[in-house]
């Protein structure tokens, strides 16, 4: 894309995001965005229902009784958008208006504008590019424009980062607790330890973005398929129903492994397809969080 085309895409996504991040959704965002931006206050004994991630193991070992850290909430909270811009995110199936990257950019923009309306800081970490790109959390509408532009213009010059590399990059970049939206097609191998470290430090929301066409091969005869990450070519006969079934089963198994990992890690994940209206899923997510914090 040339500069003019990029600016047109940025403007188009900005206008859609501003419209979607209405006062109604900004209110839902605010009610479900609690427990972040926490400062340490004191210790108290562990009680049933406390989050295990707040157990202080040093105090527990010293006293022989489980203790948890108490916090008070800061007025200023932080949203960190971690977005996959590896080559596979540039895919768009036949009939899809947006690539996975553009879809992710719109989702990120809606969250960023909602954060800006709420007076929160929002930052960006892009992975799948070399080197990773990082925008420090900041307030204001100008930061939202920077985020959209960075997602759309980041170069794709490497394969998927590993889940471990992504987790490490987030933990290095954002040391204070934050709400972290991890937006990716999750084609990398599942890594329970990496996701566990990330969800222990931050409030993690994985957002899986896939395209329907990549989950089910078309009956298209003999074709050459290019690996978006490596550039390698592979010949295959897509008229072979057995091949299509094997591919679909492998994809389902891979995604099921990630789903199981999210469940075991206790994180609330979103599973989206390009072309879907993601607003109902976002509204439901923040409604669930609002009910949780109300208790």
Using 50, 70 and 90 to split pLDDT, how confident is the model at 227? low
Over 90: is that where the pLDDT of 158 sits?
no
Residues 52 and 88 in one domain: no
**CA distance linking residue 180 with residue 175, whole number of Å:** 12
Measured CA to CA in angstroms, residue 74 lies from 50, 68, 77, 135 at distances of 20, 19, 7, 21
Mean pLDDT, rounded, for 21-39: 67
Over 90: is that where the pLDDT of 269 sits?
yes
Using 50, 70 and 90 to split pLDDT, how confident is the model at 44? confident
Full residue range of the structural domain in which residue 56 is found: 39-72
Residues 163 and 60 in one domain: no
DSSP-derived secondary structure letter, 221: -
Percent of the chain with pLDDT over 70: 82
**128 burial type by CB count under 10 A (0-12 exposed, 13-18 middle, 19+ buried):** buried
Structure tokens of 4? Answer: 């003019």
Task: Give strand ranges (E) for the chain.
Answer: 38-45, 67-73, 78-84, 121-127, 133-138, 179-184, 203-210, 222-226, 233-237, 270-273
Residues 65 and 86 in one domain: no
pLDDT in tens, 113-138: 999 988 899 999 999 988 889 999 99
Mean pLDDT, rounded, for 64-79: 74
The CATH number of residue 267's host domain is: 3.40.50.410
Residues 110 and 45 in one domain: no
What is the pLDDT, as a whole number, of residue 36? Answer: 46
Residues 137 and 256 in one domain: yes
Residues 61 and 49 in one domain: yes
Residues 51 and 159 in one domain: no
Domains in the chain, number: 2
Examine the fold and report which residue of 72, 97, 128 is the final residue of a domain before the chain moves on: 72
Note the pTM of the prediction, 2 decimals. Answer: 0.80
């Amino acid at each position: 894309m040339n500069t003019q085309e990029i600016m047109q895409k940025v403007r188009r996504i900005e206008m859609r995001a501003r419209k979607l991040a209405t006062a109604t959704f900004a209110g839902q965002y605010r009610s479900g965005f609690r427990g972040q931006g926490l400062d340490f206050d004191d210790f108290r004994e562990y009680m049933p229902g406390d989050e295990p991630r707040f157990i202080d193991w040093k105090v527990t070992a010293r006293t022989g009784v489980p203790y948890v850290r108490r916090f008070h909430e800061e007025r200023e909270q932080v949203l960190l958008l971690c977005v996959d811009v590896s080559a596979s995110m540039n895919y768009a199936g036949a009939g899809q208006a947006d690539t996975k990257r553009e879809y992710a950019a719109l989702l990120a923009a809606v969250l960023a504008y909602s954060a800006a309306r709420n007076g929160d800081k929002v930052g960006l970490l892009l992975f799948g590019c070399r080197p990773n790109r990082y925008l420090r959390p900041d307030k204001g509408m100008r930061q939202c424009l920077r985020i959209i532009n960075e997602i759309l213009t980041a170069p794709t010059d490497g394969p998927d980062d590993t889940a471990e590399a992504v987790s490490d990059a987030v933990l290095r970049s954002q040391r204070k607790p934050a709400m972290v939206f991890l937006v990716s097609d999750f084609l990398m191998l599942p890594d329970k330890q990496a996701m566990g470290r990330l969800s222990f430090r931050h409030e993690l929301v994985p957002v899986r973005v896939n395209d329907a066409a990549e989950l089910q091969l078309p009956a298209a005869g003999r074709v050459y398929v290019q690996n978006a990450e490596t550039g390698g070519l592979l010949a295959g006969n897509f008229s072979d129903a057995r091949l299509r079934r094997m591919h679909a089963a492998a994809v389902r198994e891979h995604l099921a492994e990630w789903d199981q990992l999210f469940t075991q890690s206790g994180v609330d994940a979103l599973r989206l397809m390009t072309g879907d209206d993601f607003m109902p899923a976002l509204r439901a997510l923040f409604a669930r969080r609002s009910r949780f914090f109300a208790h």
